[in-house]
Structure 1
Amino acid sequence: VVEVLGRACRLHGDTAGLHVLAEIPEEHVTDLIARARERGVLLDSTERHHHGRERLYGLVIGYGSASLTEVKRGCQILADLVNSYAAASPRSTGSAREA
């Protein structure tokens, strides 16, 4: 996950378990989820997982039940989509990794 997505967006919690939060600009989240679904990648937004004041917009990526091949494929699709938004927008998605 980090190898592929870490170059495309800021990740949170990648050392903690079976889920990663990929930080994505708020205006892209809904469309990105729909475009990923069209390509066979199912994602959830951070919307229903939010608690507290600080708000991170993005995607919750669960990979506990997927094979390594499926994880790599899904991450590459997601990275391509994130990069397509970054190329079209002056606002960066960031590329730093945060645990």
Structure 2
Amino acid sequence: MFDDKTSIEEVEESLAFLRKVKRKMPKGKLKGVSITARLLPLAGTEFEQYLKVSKKYLGSTFNYDYKIDDPAVRFLYRVNRFFYVSSTGFLSFLHLANRWENRWLKED
């Protein structure tokens, strides 16, 4: 949902898409899906190289970060991320708790 060049319009489009999908999915299947997902700069990917060349890559392979260009989108990301992490708990944030994929794949 987020990368370094995400605009407010793109966030609005993504949220509209998620609302549409939610209406069509069985109840509870999208529970726990984070709307604060960012494009990951995995080692060796074009995105990682782009961030490094453009001097936007912060940290290391294991503790990376990058700045979202649009200040309004950056603020929206950080606020939503804070509340998502707070509501799911610290262990879930570290992926030690059940992951949402397990709920998605579980048959009713």
Structure number having the greater helix percentage? 2
Decide: shared fold, TM above 0.5: no
Q: Which has the higher contact order (CA 8 A, sep 6+)?
A: 1
Structure number having the greater strand percentage? 1
TM-score when normalising by structure 2: 0.30
TM-score when normalising by structure 1: 0.32
Greater gyration radius: 2
